[in-house]
Amino acid sequence: MLEKTFDGLPDIGGFRDAGRGIDGGTWILGLTGVIYMGADDMVVATLADVEARDVLGGTNTYLATSDGIRRIDQDHRLFPSGYRPLLSADVRALTADNRPDRPGVTHWVGTAAGVFRQGTTFSTLSNMATGNCVRDALRAGTLLWLATADGLIIGRPDGAFETVSGDSYPGDQVHVVRKVGDEVWVGTNVGIGVYALDGMPKEQLTD
């Protein structure tokens, strides 16, 4: 159900995605810029000439771009992109690590060449483990869910990665993963695969 529409927003090209900010606000990603709207739905900041693919909000906000990660500080200043020591400058997705013992300390970076955990401590997962192109990433419970060009991949607490059988989701292209209640929904080119948080498939939703 449509709850609200907004007119007269700054021009940032076509809509790409949206993500949460740390104070209840919302980041809106466009094809030519990004907008930050506060919890009162007022525009707080507009950053032009940046094409962000994903956003991870926090005390510092990070944007995934084709040239690496760009940081936005608490004053909404946009810093130059960087990608060292990432596996690739082609960054596709960002998601919080959310380990109970270190909340907000590290986050996962999905790139065209694998996944990287960035922060005060980090680990690199090569494309041998995660496939050649990570399109989206989600930490849900104890598992890391990766939507890749090679299908759905799940990372387990012991460091093992497994490719999920394509029979458990419709279609042959996995594009997005989202946590919905106590389930994980995996969006494909023809529908949605629904999974329990432990990785067990539950159902498939199609037209």
Helices (H), 13-171: 127-130
Predicted confidence at residue 150, as pLDDT, reads: 81
Mean pLDDT of the chain: 83
| Mean pLDDT in residue range 80-88 | 74
| Mean pLDDT in residue range 40-69 | 88
**Percentage of the chain lying above the pLDDT 70 cut:** 83
For residue 137 the two structure tokens come to: 């990433």
Whether the per-residue pLDDT at 120 is higher than 60: the answer is: no
**Percentage of the chain lying above the pLDDT 90 cut:** 29
Neighbour count for residue 6 (Cβ, 10 Å)? 10
Whether the per-residue pLDDT at 126 is higher than 60: the answer is: no
Q: Are 53 and 18 in contact (CB under 8 A)?
A: no
Whether the per-residue pLDDT at 54 is higher than 60: the answer is: yes
For residue 46 the two structure tokens come to: 């507009």
Predicted confidence at residue 200, as pLDDT, reads: 92
Report the C-alpha gap between 56 and 64 in whole angstroms: 8
113-119: list long-range contacts, CB under 8 Å, 24+ apart.
Answer: 113/87, 113/88, 114/87, 114/88, 115/87, 115/144, 115/146, 115/155, 116/85, 116/86, 116/87, 118/69, 118/86
Which residue, chain included where needed, has tokens 């012991």? 158
The model's pLDDT over 105-114, given as tens digits with 9 standing for 90+, comes to: 677 888 888 8
Report the C-alpha gap between 163 and 104 in whole angstroms: 27
Give the DSSP letter of residue 199.
Answer: S
Predicted confidence at residue 105, as pLDDT, reads: 60
Instruction: Give the confidence band of 121 by pLDDT, cuts at 50, 70, 90.
Output: very low
H/E element holding 123? strand 123-126
SS3 168: helix
